[in-house]
């Protein structure tokens, strides 16, 4: 790491449970944090007593840079979801972010966030991939929670893996919902939880969810995450199993995840390099 003020790490907090879990994990290592929380996205739980937190509106890139610099950050870690649908509302942009967008011919989510990373690096910040910043949260291989995956569920996972990878490579989404070796739903801009709900409504339950990352995925700003909120979405959709990528996904709130999966009979598995049907 390359902290600015001794031991200071800048954490840009987006939506979801991950930024809170990451902040706790980083502070447990002794790191001093300056948190820049995106207003309207980040959870208020990020603002605990004694933690340096500044709230910045989405699309105000100059304010983000100024807050990180004022907090003395050298290394920067970006955690949590940022909805790319916000690019359709130019009233949210400051001049810096508007200029960044104007210079892009590709406005897919990864292209925009890559441009933000380059902008921060151009200001002298060292953007650290999330997987390196919080290794203790990384999901392992094999059975993670719940009952052993059934043979029919395994068939659906194997069927869904190449489909999910293709979807991720196209920067459409990271999740596909499968039932009976047929794709029921594909994640789009709405996010994983809503895609799961849609798949459950269409298939009437007993779905299998497969979540992966694309080739050359940039973990600087996007680490797929599964936590209690995800499992509750699976429960509501009548999901029987979910497969995620070992070593490429965060698992947060593990104790609660295990309890929920066991109570509701959901198999959560981490796909390793030797998983049957694994793509290269």
The pLDDT value recorded for residue 1 is: 53
pLDDT at 280: 43
pLDDT tens, position by position, 124-144: 999 999 888 888 899 999 999
pLDDT of 220 reads 78
Q: What pLDDT shows up at residue 255? A: 95
Res 82: pLDDT: 82
pLDDT for 264:
98
Positions of the chain with pLDDT under 50: 3-6, 279-280
- pTM confidence score: 0.81
Per-residue HEC secondary structure of the chain comes to: CCCCCCCEEEEEECECCHHHHHHHHHHHCCCEEEEEEEECCCCHHHCCCCCEEEEEECCCHHHHHHHHHHCCCCEEEEECECCHHHHHCHHHCCHHHHHHHHCCCCCCHHHHHHHHHHHHHHCCCEECCHHHHCHHHECCCEEEECCCCCHHHHHHHHHHHHHHHHHHHCCCCCEEEECCCCEEEECCCCCHHHHHHHHHHHHCCCEEEEECCCCCCCCCCCCCEECHHHHHHHHHHCEEEEEEECCCCEECCHHHHHHHHHHHCCEEEEECCCCCCCCC
What domains can be seen in the chain, in order of their start residue? 8-133 (3.40.50.20), 138-271 (3.40.140.80)
Rounded percentage of the chain residues whose pLDDT exceeds 70? 94
């Amino acid at each position: 790491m390359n902290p600015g003020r001794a031991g200071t790490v800048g954490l840009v907090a987006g939506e979801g449970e991950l930024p809170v879990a990451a902040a706790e994990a980083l502070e447990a290592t002794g790191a001093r944090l300056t948190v820049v929380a995106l207003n309207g996205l980040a959870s208020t739980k990020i603002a605990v007593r004694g933690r340096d937190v500044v709230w910045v509106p989405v699309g105000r890139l100059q304010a983000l840079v100024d807050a990180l610099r004022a907090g003395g950050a050298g290394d920067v870690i970006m955690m949590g979801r940022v909805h790319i649908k916000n690019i359709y509302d130019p009233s949210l942009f400051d001049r810096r972010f508007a200029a960044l967008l104007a210079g892009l011919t590709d406005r897919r989510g990864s292209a925009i966030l890559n441009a933000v990373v380059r902008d921060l690096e151009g200001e002298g910040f060292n953007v650290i991939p999330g997987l390196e910043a919080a290794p203790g949260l990384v999901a392992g291989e094999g059975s993670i929670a719940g009952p052993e995956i059934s043979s029919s569920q395994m068939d659906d996972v194997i069927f869904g893996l190449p489909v999910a990878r293709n979807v991720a490579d196209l920067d459409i989404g990271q999740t596909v919902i499968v039932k009976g070796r047929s794709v029921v739903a594909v994640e789009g801009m709405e996010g994983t939880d809503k895609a799961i709900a849609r798949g459950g409504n269409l298939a009437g339950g007993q779905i299998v969810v497969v979540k992966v990352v694309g080739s050359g995925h940039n973990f600087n700003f996007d680490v797929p995450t599964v936590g209690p909120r995800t499992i509750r979405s699976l429960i509501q959709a009548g999901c029987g199993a979910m497969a995620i990528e070992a070593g490429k996904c965060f698992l947060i709130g593990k104790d609660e995840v295990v309890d929920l999966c066991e109570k509701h009979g959901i198999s959560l598995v981490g796909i390793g390099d030797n998983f049957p049907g694994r793509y290269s």
